[in-house]
Amino acid sequence: MEQGLLWDYEWNRLDDPALALTHLLDDPTVLVVPADSPLRTHPSVRLGDLADQEWIIRADNHPVADVLRRSCRQAGFEPRIAYSSHDYQEAQAMVAAGLGIALAPRLALTSRRSDVRLLPFASDVPAPTRRILLARAAARPATPPAQAMVRVLRTVAQRFTAPDLHRAQLGAVRRG
């Protein structure tokens, strides 16, 4: 394998001299709420205002579970975990059913259900953002096909960097 896509968060930065890393884009964390939630009318939310909510968390020590716990602690509370899910589609279904709210990386929700809404966090206290990276062995120069792939991925990444992407532009909306 010549290249691979990776991601990291600020507390677990990839720092391996054996890897040449190309930053493709930043993927912000968004809040997933039911479509009829009173929060849906807010242009953005503050995590500290969500202390009384029940949360759906990613199972099996997934890094996004760490994002939720770290973010809530920084906002001054421990999250009340109601359920855990094994993937983002399952989490969306639980949110749509009113079992709780969830955090997710924006790009993980490119296939969004019609019965959930995605809300950004206020810019003065944003939730953690993951970096999407392209990695290759630092000891080997990139081949022409690898260089072409970098160009393609950078072009595609630009499509996903719009600040209002969490609105209707984010992926296809699936029915129920």
Q: Give the CATH number for residue 37.
A: 3.40.190.290
Residue 96: give the domain boundaries: 3-174
Residue 20: which of 133, 131, 155, 162 has the closest Cα? 133
Mean pLDDT, residues 111-129 taken together: 86
- What is the total count of domains within the chain? 1
- The pTM assigned to this predicted structure is 0.83
Local confidence band at 171 (pLDDT 50, 70, 90 cut-offs): very low
Q: In the structure encoding, which two tokens stand for residue 100, read together?
A: 């709780």
Q: How far apart are CA 157 and CA 76, in angstroms?
A: 34
